[in-house]
Amino acid sequence: MSVLSAGQTQGSKRRHNLKMADRKAGFGLLAPAGIVILAVTIFPIVYSIIMSFNNISLTTNGFAFQSNGINNYKTVFGSPVFWHSAWFTVYYAVVTVFVELFFGLLIALAINNVKKLQGLSISIMLIPWALITVISAQMWDYIYNGVYGVLNAVAESLHLIGQPVTWLGQNTSAVIAMMVADIWKTTPFVVIILLSGLQMIAQDYYEAARIDGANSWQLFWKVTFPLLRGSIALAGLFRILQAFGVFDLPFVLTQGGPGTATESLAILGYRTLFEDLHFGVGAAVAVSTVILILLACLIFLAGFRSMVEEEAA
């Protein structure tokens, strides 16, 4: 972090010395990339926002827009279906991200400290992350299946359950089952980020702390954790972004069921847009979801900012 800020100050000094001609050339060189970003990012976002303020009907000539102000948002925020999905998405994201950070940290520490066969353990650990979600979700579907599922077979043979349980057919167990599948799949991602963070911590700190008589518990809380906060924030941020948009897992595992128990905002948006063909309302769901994600990221970062700044100093 300190290296980065040093670089930044040098950069800003240099910028002052640039001549106008150079600056023009610079913008010229940036333009192609800027146009691409404009075309693939800014345009669709603006288009979605415009859609969300219109009543849209399909015609053979494409979309017909008819402005209807904030009516779509009124429909969205006035609907218990939306608030149910929003609430589900929020607690799903909070629980999975927290558990993933916790296990991710434990595993990263273990891999970092056990030097033997490190390459092999990292490769094995990464397998769940490398699998395509729809495939791993289908695999979990076989595990959770209420009739021929592996989980029931194992639990029954261990006498943990008397008769088969329909894991995906009950509200609470379906939500938990989905969280487990998500945690299994994305913890490796957290591990990789934290592991690289751990390996960047200079050994000198540990030596100095040991000379001062610190035990391993103190080493972790006084050296490792403070220096790892930046990586934790990064992993957490990436995970929040993804967890709020969770789609493939419920799409394959539960189709949002039972009832609407696992209907995430992304599934709701998909249904509204592509099944009901209510494009305006669907766009309003999408825009609201984006705002919710931004808010979540801001809250998460605000919680971490002080620590990160502390570390950078």
Q: Are 52 and 280 in contact (CB under 8 A)?
A: yes
Where does this chain touch another protein (CB under 8 A) — which range of 5-13, 60-68, 130-138, 221-229? 60-68
Q: What is the DSSP letter of 273?
A: I
260 near another protein, rule: CB under 8 A: yes
How many residues bind another protein, per CB under 8 A? 45
**Which ranges in the chain belong to alpha helices (H)?**
2-17, 20-37, 43-52, 71-77, 80-113, 118-130, 133-144, 150-157, 171-200, 203-211, 216-219, 225-244, 248-253, 265-270, 279-312
Region binding another protein by CB under 8 A among candidate stretches 96-104, 167-175, 181-189, 190-198: 167-175
The piece of 39-47, 73-81, 95-103, 153-161 that touches another protein (CB under 8 A) is 73-81
Q: Which stretch binds another protein (CB under 8 A): 121-129, 217-225, 232-240, 248-256?
A: 248-256
Residue 72 touching another protein (CB under 8 A): yes
Residue 289: exposed, middle, or buried by beta-carbon count in 10 A (0-12, 13-18, 19+)?
Answer: buried
SS3 59: strand
Is 232 near another protein (CB under 8 A)?
no
Which x/- pattern, by CB under 8 A, does the window 263-282 give for another protein? -----x-xxx-xxxxx-xx-
Nearer to another protein, 112 or 272 (CB): 272
Backbone angles phi, psi at 65, to 5 degrees: -90, 140
Q: Which residues bind another protein (CB under 8 A)?
A: 55, 57-63, 72, 75-76, 79, 81-82, 145-147, 163-166, 168-171, 254-261, 268, 270-272, 274-278, 280-281, 285
